[in-house]
Amino acid sequence: MGRRTAWWRARARGGRASARVRVAAVAAVLCTAAAPASWPAGAAAASGTPSADGTSAASAYAFAEGAQSVDGATGSTDAQRLEVGKTYRSSLPRGAKVYYSLELDAESNTYVSATAIPRAGAKLSVTDGIRVSVQDADSDSCSNQSASFGAAKSPHPITAWGARTTSPANPLCKGVGTYYVVVERVGTADSSPGAWDLELAAQTEPPLKEAGSTNPPTVWNSASPTPVSGEPKRSPGGAGFSRATSVGQGVWRADISPGQTLFYKVPVDWGQQLSATADLGSADGAGQGYAVAALDLTLYNPVRADVEDASVGYDGQQKSASLAPVPSVAYANRYAVTDQVNGMRFAGSYYLVVHLAQGVADEFGDGPFGLRLHVRVEGAAQDGPGYAGQPVPRNVFEVTAQDREAAAEGGAAGVDAAMTAVAVAGIGAGTVLLVVLGVWTVTARRRAGVS
């Protein structure tokens, strides 16, 4: 009898312990289910919390989710292959020139971008930056483009791009085979010695079903547009290209701190014309200083090619930076000489990247400062040029219904979807929890009656 009592008590204690474990497990499931996989990325980067290595969150860059690490080779022989449609993470030491390889067909246009991210607080010169080129097996340069940090010398993401195009106007770089992406760090020896992070992305554009005109437009609406007015909607920017906040026509408001870079994306279809203005609000209190090139607004096209930029100094009073007029999106724009026209060559998500120079903090404090982004998209959407295949990644050169919906909400559509997922997951998990607990209760009572 004593042994049986001791055994039952032990069994009861074990049962209660097991129940506690089961409840904890279900609670864990509930918490897991309630956390949406699509939670807006980059939110932590904009929160102002320093990262583990001490990097200021205000200048943190959110890399693409799942970006694969790749080492840049010091020569073409050891260059690691980049797959089109994927995003990679690498690094670029001071004074380095690194190589990556691409296997390309003979028909598609291929675009590669490299975004360099120095650490917050890095010492930079006006000429510091990167140079990106695409070369064939005979060292012929298919393209060559540079990007620098400019007069503000403020650490922030900068992007340069390269391309292998099959345009009749470009006799070099034809045919199938191995091509090389060469990324070089340029500037002075006085800059900080630490390596810069790199984000690399490659896309392909298929050929046309039927050849079109190779003459760029000679007449288009080049008058400076009036900035969109109206009540601003709150829309915090993202912390990287892949985390950019979707916005459409309207006025959007955010807070920005010195050293911070905000990324927005705007769906622009064939035949539509984009314009944008960024307004920096006045500083709190009286400031006597002046920050050079304090506010920078840059427009990138869907392959992250720099179309144009505008910057303005800051004396503590409100300032405005407006992009120069660009033409409507058209396939033939690619045959123009200037980047301002050449870059508007395909439909898709165009990026507006806003940076507030770190030097603003020295004169006017850490902020944050008020920012308004005026976005205008004019013209009716038109049919595309008629591609003979699919681009990689898919839909990169088109505007979808989901793109338009997200842009109209200023990125809130994605947040609402995430919260809906939380609610649904919470209800579902709660229902499962009640059912499981009910089963356990019935089972325990039955076992108590049998014993």
Same domain, 181 and 309: no
Beta-carbon contacts of residue 83 (< 8 Å; ≥ 6 apart): 202
Same domain, 73 and 179: yes
Tell me the pLDDT tens digit for each residue of 178-209. Answer: 999 999 999 877 788 889 999 999 999 999 99
Number of domains in the chain: 3
Answer yes or no: is pLDDT of 424 > 90. Answer: no
Percent of the chain with pLDDT over 90: 66
The 141-148 sheet, strands edge to edge: 80-81, 97-104, 177-186, 129-135, 141-148
Whether 294 maps to a domain, the answer reads yes
The CA radius of gyration of the chain, in Å to the nearest whole number, is 27
Look-up: residue for tokens 């038109």?
382
Tell me the pLDDT tens digit for each residue of 145-183. Answer: 999 999 999 999 999 999 999 987 777 898 999 999 999
pLDDT of residue 20: 41
Between residues 342 and 38, which one has the greater pLDDT?
342
Same domain, 234 and 371: yes
Beta-carbon contacts of residue 186 (< 8 Å; ≥ 6 apart): 127, 128, 129, 130, 131, 146, 148
pLDDT band, residue 412 (cuts 50/70/90): low
119 neighbors 55 (Cβ within 8 angstroms): yes
pLDDT of residue 448: 42
CA 101, 107, 108, 110 dihedral sign is positive
Same domain, 365 and 225: yes
pLDDT band, residue 286 (cuts 50/70/90): low
Whether 20 maps to a domain, the answer reads no
Same domain, 50 and 81: no
Whether 62 maps to a domain, the answer reads no
Same domain, 254 and 371: yes
Whether 17 maps to a domain, the answer reads no
Between residues 18 and 319, which one has the greater pLDDT?
319
Query: For the domain that residue 80 is a member of, what is the CATH number?
Result: 2.60.120.380
pLDDT of residue 220: 85
pLDDT of residue 172: 82
Answer yes or no: is pLDDT of 437 > 90. Answer: no
68 neighbors 128 (Cβ within 8 angstroms): no
The burial of 378, by beta-carbon neighbours within 10 Å (0-12 exposed, 13-18 middle, 19 or more buried), is given as middle
Mean pLDDT of 40-48: 36
Same domain, 266 and 406: yes
Mean pLDDT of 410-432: 45
Give the span between the Cα atoms of 356 and 117, in whole angstroms: 15
Among 143, 177, 208, the domain boundary falls at: 208
Domain of residue 127 covers: 67-208
Q: What is the DSSP letter of 172?
A: S
Whether 276 maps to a domain, the answer reads yes
Residue 271: name the closest of 411, 163, 398 by CA. 398
Answer yes or no: is pLDDT of 121 > 80. Answer: yes
Answer yes or no: is pLDDT of 444 > 50. Answer: no
Answer yes or no: is pLDDT of 18 > 50. Answer: no
Among 175, 208, 241, the domain boundary falls at: 208
Whether 61 maps to a domain, the answer reads no
Same domain, 152 and 292: no
Tell me the pLDDT tens digit for each residue of 223-256. Answer: 888 889 999 999 999 999 999 999 999 999 999 9
Same domain, 86 and 170: yes
Q: Which residues pair with 88 in a beta bridge?
A: 68, 200
Whether 21 maps to a domain, the answer reads no
Same domain, 281 and 249: yes
Q: What is the DSSP letter of 412?
A: H
Among 156, 174, 208, the domain boundary falls at: 208
Whether 60 maps to a domain, the answer reads no
Between residues 440 and 343, which one has the greater pLDDT?
343
What is the pTM (predicted TM-score) of this model?
0.81
Mean pLDDT of 305-320: 96
244 neighbors 263 (Cβ within 8 angstroms): yes
Same domain, 98 and 119: yes
89 neighbors 63 (Cβ within 8 angstroms): yes
Same domain, 324 and 188: no
Answer yes or no: is pLDDT of 372 > 70. Answer: yes
